[in-house]
């Protein structure tokens, strides 16, 4: 459908109003379910009893990586970021872990090196270079932009399949909040396939 | 049919929220931005507007709402046709009115930033005068 046709459709105010009334009948009950869904998702961990975990801290930043004890590979990682340390020498096993994946993979840090420094193996995954150096890096830069403004970033990264040597997908949920008040500024939930071409629209600080 | 697809999209967005909202069931209106970076859906986020001026930032599970989003866009875009950059979904629960805006080109539109987040959440508040 062309943009013009869509514009016409959107001008059918009466039809929209009718449909809206119908929606109004259908949606209130949905609201009753909201609270039940609103666990603190950033802290939520699936089936934690089945997994081991490792904690990494750097300054005020901390993260917990849950991993499959059989494979040593991550299932989920959650963390809090209050400071950005920028670039620093790397001494972890990212390169070796990247080689566990496909040709063209990097060893990608679930929680960026700029925030947590050298990372235990469980927090690094084979990640296609286009994603690691593209959309994923842009997302990390966005987090750094928020932190530079004094905000706090909490995140949870789910790995799919859980514990896979080479993940197929990642889901990242992150919140931006004011650390002085706790007020939630923003929440985003993004899906990334571990293939080329993934994009992330980095914010413009200005 | 279109109304049902739209209602199903709204339902999916609400039922699959990933956000700590206090008193979230009191929301009066909502605004969601569906993101299609690179031509594929990868996220939905926005705000719930509660009484007394309270605005709650929210996001939906992209894996959970993906099917509803695809069904909705399939109604407007032919197979192979480029999807929009973003779709803004606004719904006023108190009046039942809604509006859906397609952004075909500007990836920066409705982007939340440290500088604009206060103004943006008011800009996105549904108003149907």
- Assess if residue A200 is contained within a domain: no
| A-to-B residue pairs, Cβ atoms closer than 8 angstroms | 164
Residue B104, Cβ density class (10 Å: 0-12 exposed, 13-18 middle, ≥19 buried): exposed
Q: Which of A186, A193, A128, A109 is nearest to A154 (CA)?
A: A186
**Same domain (yes/no): A26, A51:** no
Domain count, chain A: 2
The reply to whether B5 touches chain A by the CB within 8 Å rule is: no
Q: Examine residue A37 and state whether it is found in any structural domain, yes or no.
A: no
Q: At B9, list the tokens.
A: 């999209």
**Contact call for residues A126 and A165 (beta carbons, < 8 A):** yes
**Same domain membership, residue A14 and residue A99:** no
Residue A203 lies in a domain: no
At B2, which helix (H) or strand (E)?
Answer: helix B2-15
Does A206 fall in a domain? no
- Determine the average pLDDT of the residues in A164-177: 94
DSSP class of residue B43 equals: E
The total of other beta-carbon atoms located within 10 Å of residue B101's CB is 15
How close, in Å, is residue B114 to chain A by CA atoms?
Answer: 6
Instruction: Report which of A75, A152, A142, A68 is spatially closest to residue A112, judged by C-alpha positions.
Output: A142
Mean pLDDT of A154-169: 94
Q: Is A105 part of any domain?
A: yes
Cβ distance of A35 and B25 shorter than 8 Å: yes
B14/A24 CB distance under 8 A: no
CB B19 within 8 A of CB B58: yes
Residues A19 and A118 in one domain: no
Q: Which domains does chain B have, with CATH numbers?
A: 2-123 (3.30.500)
Judged by DSSP in three states, A206 sits in coil
Question: Domain with A74 in it: what CATH number?
Answer: 3.40.570.10
Residues A20 and A74 in one domain: no
Any CB–CB contact under 8 A between B17 and chain A? yes
Task: Please give the pLDDT value at position A205.
Answer: 52
pLDDT in tens, chain B (129 residues): 456 899 999 999 998 988 555 566 789 999 999 999 888 899 999 999 999 888 999 999 999 999 999 999 999 999 889 999 999 999 999 998 999 999 999 989 999 988 899 999 999 999 987
Range of A104's domain?
47-193
Mean pLDDT across chain A: 79
Q: Is the pLDDT of residue A39 over 50?
A: no
Residues A161 and A131 in one domain: yes
- Looking at the structure, do residues A111 and A19 belong to the same domain, yes or no? no
The contacts of residue A72 (CB under 8 Å, 6+ apart) are: A121, A122
Instruction: Give me the helix-helix angle, B2-15 and B62-74, nearest 10°.
Output: 170
**pLDDT band with cut points at 50, 70 and 90 for residue A15:** very low
Q: Is the model's pLDDT at A170 over the cut of 60?
A: yes
pLDDT band at A41 (very low <50, low <70, confident <90, very high): very low
Judge whether B111 is closer than 8 Å to chain A, CB to CB: yes
Q: Mark whether A96 and A13 lie in a shared domain.
A: no
Nearest CA-CA distance, residue A113 and chain B, Å: 23
What lies within 8 Å, CB to CB, of B93 at 6+ separation is A24, A27, A28, A31, B27, B28, B29, B30
Going by C-beta distance under 8 Å and a sequence separation of 6 or more, which residues neighbour residue A105? A98, A99, A126, A127, A128, A129, A166
pLDDT over threshold 80, residue A30:
no
A86 burial via Cβ count (<10 Å: 0-12, 13-18, 19+): exposed
A9 and A80 fall within a common domain: no
Residue B80 in contact with partner chain A when CB distance is under 8 A: no
pLDDT at A197: 58
**CA dist A4 → A1, A37, B63, B73, B76 (Å):** 8, 39, 31, 16, 12
| Predicted-complex ipTM score | 0.85
- B chain contacts of residue A204, beta-carbon cutoff 8 Å: 108, 111, 113
């Amino acid at each position: 459908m062309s943009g013009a046709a869509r514009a016409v459709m959107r001008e059918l105010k009466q039809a929209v109003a009718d449909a809206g009334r119908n929606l109004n009948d259908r949606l209130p009950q949905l609201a009753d379910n909201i609270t039940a869904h609103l666990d603190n998702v950033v802290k939520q961990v699936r089936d934690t009893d089945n997994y081991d975990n490792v904690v990494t801290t750097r300054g005020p930043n901390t993260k917990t990586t849950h991993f499959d004890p059989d494979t040593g590979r991550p299932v989920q990682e959650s963390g809090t970021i209050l400071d950005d340390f920028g670039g620093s020498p790397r001494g972890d096993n990212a390169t070796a872990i990247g080689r566990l994946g496909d040709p063209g993979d990097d060893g990608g840090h679930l929680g960026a090196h700029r925030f947590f420094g050298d990372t235990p193996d469980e927090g690094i995954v084979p990640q296609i270079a286009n994603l690691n150096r593209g959309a994923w890096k842009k997302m990390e830069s966005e987090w750094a932009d928020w932190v530079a403004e004094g905000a706090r970033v909490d995140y949870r990264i789910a790995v799919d399949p859980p514990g896979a040597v080479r993940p197929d997908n990642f889901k990242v949920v992150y919140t931006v909040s004011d650390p002085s008040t706790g007020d939630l500024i923003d929440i985003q939930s993004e899906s990334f396939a571990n293939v080329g071409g993934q994009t992330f629209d980095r914010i413009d600080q200005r | 049919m279109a109304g049902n697809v739209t209602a199903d999209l709204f339902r999916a967005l609400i039922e699959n929220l990933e956000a700590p909202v206090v008193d979230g069931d009191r929301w009066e209106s909502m605004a969601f931005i569906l993101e299609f970076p690179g031509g594929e859906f990868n996220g939905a986020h926005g705000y719930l507007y509660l009484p007394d001026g309270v605005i709650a930032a929210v996001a939906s599970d992209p894996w959970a709402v993906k099917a509803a989003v695809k069904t909705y866009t399939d109604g407007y875009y032919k197979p192979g046709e480029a999807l929009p950059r973003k779709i803004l979904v606004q719904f006023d629960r108190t009046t039942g009115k809604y509006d859906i805006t397609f952004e075909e080109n500007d990836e920066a539109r409705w982007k939340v930033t440290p500088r604009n987040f206060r103004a943006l959440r008011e800009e996105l508040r549904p108003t149907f005068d």
